[in-house]
Amino acid sequence: MVRIPIARIGVGAIELIVISKLAGAKDAPKDTRLGFAFSMHDNDSNDRPAHQEDADVAVPTGKALRCDFVGGAVQHRLRFGGGRGQDLPKAAGLKPGINPHIIDATAGLGRDAFLLASLGATVTMIERSVDMHALLRDGMARALDAGGVTAEIIKRMTLIHGDAIALLPELSPEIVLVDPMHPPRNKSALVKAEMRQIRAIVGIDDDQTRLMQTALAHASRRVVLKWPAKAAPMADIPPASHQIIGKSVRYDVFMQS
């Protein structure tokens, strides 16, 4: 019998309810509105799709969208991704012998959290979308069932359903990762089908500035903002301490005194 570490916290509440349930995929909620199987892309990809001006494109339907930690690109990245030399681990401050506790305030489908956990970090994921939370829970349950290294990584990940703006003050975080819906790109491009479906689930993060301000107010060590490489800095927050810039994504790092 395996159990999955899932926590739910009501918005604005301090009470923490830990749900220990059997990790069989058969128990996971189903949502027939979701489409396309989802897999992790390279380390410049995003859990959440870019905020596009052509967002009114119809959401496609097809195979059920799912969070997959067991196969495909997730496992390829686990084996060949470059370890702590990748941009995200460097931005989060992962170094040999240093395995911090990181709060992923915008969990999405959990790819960034899985990467950080695979390198030794303990990660608490916060996801406010009911449907996305269900997909994450299902993916974590199947990964635990798979056993081996993947299950050991999942055991370092905790999932919370709630709003990070309300929860961060109660969690006293050291390091916070924020990956909100991104601003429009200068060059319009058709968003990939699966990305449009994810966007249809999570919506637009209109409160992303308030989330960053909350993270900066409560993180004791650093805040990492995952942002499009060529986008202007997020408005109404202080300048980043430094940046790590990839091909399509950059990490704005805010060191806390």
Q: Where are the beta strands (DSSP E) in the chain?
A: 3-8, 17-22, 101-104, 122-127, 157-161, 175-178, 222-228, 242-245, 249-255
Distance CA 244, CA 200 (A): 29
Residues 70 and 143: beta-carbon distance below 8 Å: yes
Residue for token pair 């689930």: 201
Task: Say what the pLDDT of residue 126 is.
Answer: 98
Distance CA 68, CA 75 (A): 9
Task: Say what the pLDDT of residue 3 is.
Answer: 44
Structural domain spans, the chain:
3-255
Task: Say what the pLDDT of residue 209 is.
Answer: 96
Say how many CA atoms lie within 13 Å of 116 toward its Cβ: 32
Residue 163 carries which DSSP code? -
In degrees, rounded to 5, the angle at the alpha carbon of residue 228 between the alpha carbons of residues 224 and 231 is: 110
The residue among 200, 197, 205 whose CA lies nearest residue 225 is: 205
Chunked into runs of 10 residues, the chain (257 residues) has average pLDDT values of 47 34 37 32 40 41 75 75 87 92 94 94 96 94 95 97 97 96 53 70 84 98 95 95 96 94
- Helical packing angle, 130-146 and 193-202, nearest 10°: 120
Residue for token pair 């319009």: 188
| Three-class SS state of 54 | coil
Q: Tell me the whole-structure pTM to 2 decimals.
A: 0.75
In degrees, rounded to 5, the angle at the alpha carbon of residue 72 between the alpha carbons of residues 79 and 50 is: 100
Task: Say what the pLDDT of residue 156 is.
Answer: 97
CATH of domain 3-255: 3.40.50.150
Which residue type, as a one-letter code, is found at position 83? Answer: G
Task: Say what the pLDDT of residue 4 is.
Answer: 52
- What is the distance between the terminal CA atoms of the chain, rounded to a whole angstrom? 44
Distance CA 43, CA 248 (A): 10
Residues 35 and 65: beta-carbon distance below 8 Å: yes
Task: Say what the pLDDT of residue 22 is.
Answer: 34
Cα–Cα distance list, 116 to 31, 70, 156, 185 (Å): 28, 16, 10, 27
